[in-house]
Structure 1
Amino acid sequence: MYVHSTEGDNTTRYPALDLMTDNPFHLWEDQSKDSCMLTLASGILSDEQFYIISLFLVYVSQIINNCAIIANSLSIAVFVKLGFSEPSNISLTALAVCDFTMAVLYTWYNFCFWLTYHNVRLPFHSANVSYLTGGAQWAFLSTTVAWITAFISFERCLCILFPLKVRRLITPRGTFVAMLIIILLTFFPSFFLYVRYKFVWVFIPYMNTTILNIIPVNNELAIQFEKISFGICGVFQPVLAFSIVLICTVLLVVQLRKISSWRMSVTSAKSHRVQTEENPGASSSVAEDRISQKEERLVRMVVAIATIFIVSYIPTCIGILCSVIFDEFNMFGVYRRLFIVFGYIISLGQPISGSINILIYYKMASKFRLVFRRLVRLDRQKQERHELE
């Protein structure tokens, strides 16, 4: 079956592309010359199994995304009130903004799937268009989140290993520039997808209507460009960022254990000095210890954030591995159904991580906790209950 697309005076015939029929996620015709592969791909998940699993994951994913939107909105508001005099506030704000944007993008993707499932006729092909305007951007933003987390972890490692030198280099302005560079190198390459795929208006004869759809550009330059961009942005960048986070987290945990052992060894000596009134250096010693404890709390918070990220990002690494091994494991390949289902499973990890981060900030950052309580007026409610009693 073929359909016609109209661009000016030219009419082009394309294979049928899931054009919102009774089975809007049916495989493209002539996608693969291997009939055995097509049979295997369509037999792995039946229509009913695919819809039931996908719809369940859509509802679960959207519940978690709603939590992520609320949690990251509050985090951004708190960091704005705290100000950006501290470099860590800038990087954590950038992390919250990316998590918030990812949740919004996937909400759009889920909404389009829900409309498709309920056979709502739209002026565009919901599955394909929402993927190229939401799902793909979500995937690139997940790499941005990975690199921001890698930057935060690497910065803490340097602060522990070279505290005097790093504090001169890592400034608020430098951190802001670093965040911009990370976003430019990881997210903005997502727009290169439009070199390989383009939007076209497709006329559907049996529906007697024209809808917006996605058509692959099948020239050699576009195909090679897609392979190169996928290798760099889809494989190399996320895997490297994940490796940096993993290594830095291990180093931070080792350093935390050393700091804890050192503090236990000098606790008794410091307590004697603080209790000795004749010791003029007691107050400065206590002050130094307070500074070290503050740094330790920040390191512990970074370790907690990085650990949650590592756990939530493992399914993404598995998905990248599958995309590398199986050429047809993508949105427009014969393993499209498995790709969509696995994509929903992957999408659960990031909003969970983004939702939990605010709990880590609240638990481990006293300034964040204070501003957060004022923002949601918890302290005022507590005071009012105390006055009533």
Structure 2
Amino acid sequence: MDPEKVEARDSSERIVTTVVPLQIWTHQTINPPLLVLEPGLLSDEQFDIISWILVIIVQIISISGLVTNILSIIVFTRLGFSEASNISLTALAMCDLACMIFSMWTNLCYLPVFRDSSLPFNVHTVKFLTGAGLWAHIVRTAAWITAFISFERCLCILVPLKVKRLITPRTTLIAMLVISMFTVGPYIFMHLRFHFSWVFYPHLNATIFDIVVINSKHLILSEQIIMVLCGLIQPVLAFAIVVTCTVFLIVQLKKISSWRKSVTSAKNQKQNSEDKSAPTNTGTGTSISQKEERLVRMVVVIATTFIVCFIPTCVAAMFDDSFYEGTYRRIFAILILINFLGGSVSGSVNIFIYYNMASKYRLGLRRLLRLDNEK
């Protein structure tokens, strides 16, 4: 295809192919369109300094998260998948691992030294389809897996006698696959409108690897629906489910703690006249085994960490195009970097939560790292 021509079909199809953006990132041109703004809240120097600081922090955390999630996947694989919770936690670790990889690549593209260098591709557009776009979809996958784990723990408290039949390893695996298709699947439709192609720019006398956009009313409508579904409904709904389940679990943990204290007090008072065994079911749904209680506490910590780190993503999802196409582009770009920071932190700290709150995981990790003397 001649890069200087525009491919057009008959007007009944209303399909026109154009190349975006019209400016590329080289020394001969201005900075990337997303980062070159009208005079606003941040100057070029201030924006570059903040970008450098955030990118370096995110890269360090992402590298550590890369290592910790690989260790978690190995440990959970050695522990086996006879327990449903191991399957969901392994899927969460795999999502976090993928997020670390795409986060490192996307943040590298934000560095002024990298984005302003003479590269044979358009950093801004290629970065979106190969890094930021995939990262956003996988982060939503991790959000829904966290929501599933939190909801599963709620069922363990509400229906402790039925949850083993409802949440089996098989149903958990199916749920992980459905969540993945629900969150990552729409990304495939983006490639119906966006295609990689070599594009010739006459003002640079160079052919650059860029993205070709097909403007069709049907594809535009599909893209708008996907953006509303994936950009707004999915993250906000997952966030709401995690928050609701976490609040419920915290309340129930307080009830369980009070119940255990009352049972212990009653045993101490009547230990000479009554049986010392504590009741196992109060009929209120708040009595669970100590093993389940520890798992619930671990899920609460994981969910709370996710809530804190996921807030910037939900905030960014609530803004429309006018926010990042106008004077506030720099603020939006900083918010995007904060999103990467929150996602990296959330995906990196889980290993410490598992290690401190799950005895089997702690033992498995110590054996993997040979921290215990083998007999």
Q: Please tell me whether residue 27 in structure 1 is matched to residue 36 in structure 2.
A: no
Match of 1:249 among 243, 246, 249: 246
CA RMSD, 1 decimal: 3.2
Equivalent position of 1:355 in the other structure: 348
Query: Residue 368 in 1 paired to residue 361 in 2?
Result: yes
Q: How does the TM-score come out when normalised to structure 1?
A: 0.83
Structure 1 Cα separation of the partners of residues 220 and 182 of structure 2: 21
Structure 1 segment 74-223 matched on structure 2, within 5 A = 74-114=71-111, 117=114, 119-223=116-220
Q: How does 1:6-17 map to 2 (within 5 A)?
A: 14=19, 17=22
- Structure 2 CA distance for partners of 1:7 and 1:123, relative to 1, 3 Å: farther
**8 Å Cα contact 1:141-1:187 kept in structure 2:** yes
Paired with 2:149 and 2:221, the residues of 1 have a C-alpha distance of 34
Q: Out of 327, 330, 341, which is 2:321 matched to?
A: 327
Report the Cα offset of residue 155 of structure 1: 0.4
CA distance in 2, matches of 1:179, 1:94: 7
For 1:274 and 1:70, the matched residues in 2 are separated by 51
Corresponding position of 2:13: none
Matched, 1:344 2:337: yes
Structure of greater relative contact order (alpha carbons < 8 Å, 6+ residues apart): 2
Match of 1:236 among 233, 238, 246: 233
Residues 200/300 of structure 1: CA separation in 2 closer, same or farther (3 Å cut): same
Distance 1:93 1:133 in 2: 24
Structure 1: unaligned runs, 5 residues or longer? 29-37, 384-389
The answer on whether the counterparts of 1:273 and 1:282 sit within 8 Å (CA) in structure 2 is no
8 Å Cα contact 1:98-1:145 kept in structure 2? yes
Size of the aligned set, in residue pairs, is 361
- Name the CA shift for 1:13/1:304 in 2 (closer, same or farther; >3 Å): closer
- Please state how far the C-alpha of 1:237 moved relative to its aligned partner: 1.2
In structure 2, C-alpha distance between the alignment counterparts of 1:45 and 1:199, rounded to whole Å? 33
2:121 aligned counterpart, secondary structure: coil
Matches within 5 A, 1:249-268: 249-268=246-265
Q: Secondary structure at the match of 1:216?
A: strand
Give the number of the structure whose residues are more often helix, by fraction. Answer: 1
SS at match of 1:217: strand
SS in 2 for 1:311: helix
- How high is the TM-score relative to the length of structure 2? 0.86
Segments of structure 2 that go 5 or more residues without pairing to the other structure are: 10-15, 281-286
Name the CA distance, whole Å, in 1 between partners of 2:21 and 2:128.
Answer: 18
